[in-house]
Amino acid sequence: MRVVVVGSGVAGLTAARSLADAGCRVVVVDKGRRPGGRLATADLADGARADHGAQFLTVRSAELATDIGAWQADGTVHEWCRGFGTGDGHPRYAGTGGMAVLAARLAVGLEVRQSTHVDAVVPTTDGWSVSWPAAHGSPAGSLAADAVVLTCPVPQSATLLGGAAEVPDVAYEPTLSLVVALDGPASVPVPGGVQPTDDAVWSWVGDNLAKGVSPVPSVTLHTTAALAAERWDADRERLAADLLASAGPWLGGSGVVDVRLHRWRFATPAQPRPERWLEVAPGAFLAGDAFGGPRVEGAYLSGRAVADRVVVGR
């Protein structure tokens, strides 16, 4: 069975792995330069690194617990802490060297085509066609499939499918991510993460050195959804400067070596769907954190579940 997976985030890579293990011929296509989606790590000046998407993952399911054990054994992830402030006893796992390391681990052995800007997913007489235009010196192309699994944000999936399927409306909340490399220690308290509940600007502050991501001090700060929506279209340089000023109390008085700003338009599904996946047309499936829940584990479980459904229906 030929399956094309659109999106190389956690859901897409997990689905592709399960499908390949079941004997399917799988190709993953994604517009990004590297696999992972929000499993994203930035390289900054002076050797600093910073996770600017997902910050950690938790495990509450037996399925993910098995893989976490294997990833710990091979050094892909490590237990960072068991909560912030008072703690809640649930382990938080971080990628060793960054969450992008976990994405790379998930992609091992799979055919993953990055920098492939899919622009249409259309039904054919015997399945589906996934196509993309010529771009950046690469030729246009297409793939034929018996089934297609779309794991990108639901509004993007709806655009790709056009009128070929009825896709539900799913709203997402945005986030702005500011990463800052420093010449000295940050002032984020042990264990290196804070989730403010009453801050008008920040919803997360993380110390990448304390987390085991960066060999030198660097901080990741995520804005609230409200702030991101309000400032979404602001000039990048002005926005970065304003956010850096607001980040001052977390920087420990250290000097700023490097600053990067990333916009996550589809950071968090506002109201995740109750099902783990959705078949919107015969052989066309939607999956991702909009179905599994707005965490790394939710995307993982959605990918596993949709792969099971595709295999059963072949």
Predicted confidence at residue 314, as pLDDT, reads 64
Q: Given a cut of 90, is residue 80 above it in pLDDT?
A: yes
Tokens of 277: 């996946």
The pLDDT tens digits of the residues spanning 132-179 come to 999 877 789 999 999 999 999 999 999 999 989 999 999 999 999 999
Query: Can you give the pLDDT at residue 157?
Result: 98
Nearest to 260 by CA among 220, 211, 231: 220
- pLDDT at residue 299 is higher than 80: yes
pLDDT the model gives residue 293: 87
Task: Give the angle 15-16-22 at the CA atoms, nearest 5°.
Answer: 95
Note the pLDDT of residue 135: 84
Residue 52, pLDDT score: 97
Interhelix angle for 10-21 vs 99-107, to 10°? 30
Domains of the chain: 2-38+57-169+272-313 (3.50.50.60), 172-269 (3.90.660.10)
Residue owning tokens 């992008």: 100
110-127: average pLDDT: 96
**What are the tens digits of pLDDT across the range 214-244?**
999 999 999 999 999 999 999 999 999 999 9
Q: Give the confidence band of 45 by pLDDT, cuts at 50, 70, 90.
A: very high
How far apart, in whole angstroms, are the C-alpha atoms of residue 287 and residue 276? 7
Residue 257: pLDDT above 80? yes
Contact 104, 95 (CB under 8 A): no
Q: What is the pLDDT of residue 137?
A: 76
pTM of this prediction? 0.95
